[in-house]
Structure 1
Amino acid sequence: MVQNCDIQLEDVFVPDDDRLPGANSFQDLVDSLSFSRVMAAWVSIGIAVGVYDACHRYLGERKQFGVPLATFQLNQEKLVRMLGNIQAMWLLGWRLCKLHGSGKMTTGQASLGKAWITKQARETVALGRELLGGNGIVTDFHVGKAFCDMETVYTYEGSYDVNALIVAREISGISSIRPTSSRL
């Protein structure tokens, strides 16, 4: 769980040795923020993989009507959808890391990755929660905790909506975050 708070600093002295080089404003941190969006995306991938693994094991071990839950078609379809989401998330995350490593990743690309990957991970974890039925919300199987963790990751580093607006600004050249006129 991530605790959010409102921190106000007044009359704070930071020695030059402790300052982030070249950072004099929030805007100076854009590259760092872009990379942290990619890291939030990778956290989402990790959560989704963990839930998939837990569900895969659970469905193979838990029996209903004398057969493992994995034998039922709807459960198999959900596992396949989860795995498809995970593979697509891995590929996008890998591509973003390659772009970042070459210095070619844009803020919009980082935001698109964070928005889309966390959205897909959120769906994947929800499918996992469904697969475990009532056990999907108890702590014994860890999926309920992962479900809550995923909601946190989806929200930090800007919500899906905020990141979508950053992408839209990059592809359209128009910012809807700070509109040019205010009509009420």
Structure 2
Amino acid sequence: MTGRLKRDHRVWSWLVMVVVAGMCSVRPARVPDAVAASPTSLPPSGTVPTQLVANTASPTDVITIDWKILRTLDFRTGKASDTLRFLEKRRVRLPGFIVPLEDFQERAKEFLLVPYFGACVHLPPPPPNQMIYVTMNRDTKISWWNPVWIEGAIEVINYKSVYGIAGYRMRVDRVTQYEDNGKWP
């Protein structure tokens, strides 16, 4: 190599190392928890809130939940709170970020949903009660840079992936881009 080519190669190598180090050291932005549709917050355990029961006349009603509710699963013992047992196999709506299960995936029938961008990829994965294994009936275009809303039936399971263990599975029939109006709903 000539002197200039070696110097350019060292500059590019240094630049790549700086970018990679920066990507690994930057803490991902935390997605604020969505506020439950009714009531403003659900208790971590105990009885199911009467407002939640009153606003879900049938098991097909869609219930907007937040990541706080999912945290009530004790992933070490597998014990779910009363609220989680109430929500099991019901249709829920939840915002989050997509983690594709294959590199450079643009369309998928399955992926992980996590509460903040970058989870599982550059950092240790979130605990199982903060990861959802999502399955869909058909290939769908996915955006793993922006938050999305997912809608479908949720259940408590253990799903092992290369990115960690998910404590939930959702059979999702709707994925929509999260609309940012300056605050979470």
User: Fold conserved (TM > 0.5)?
Assistant: no
Q: Which has the higher strand share?
A: 2
Q: Which has the higher helix share?
A: 1
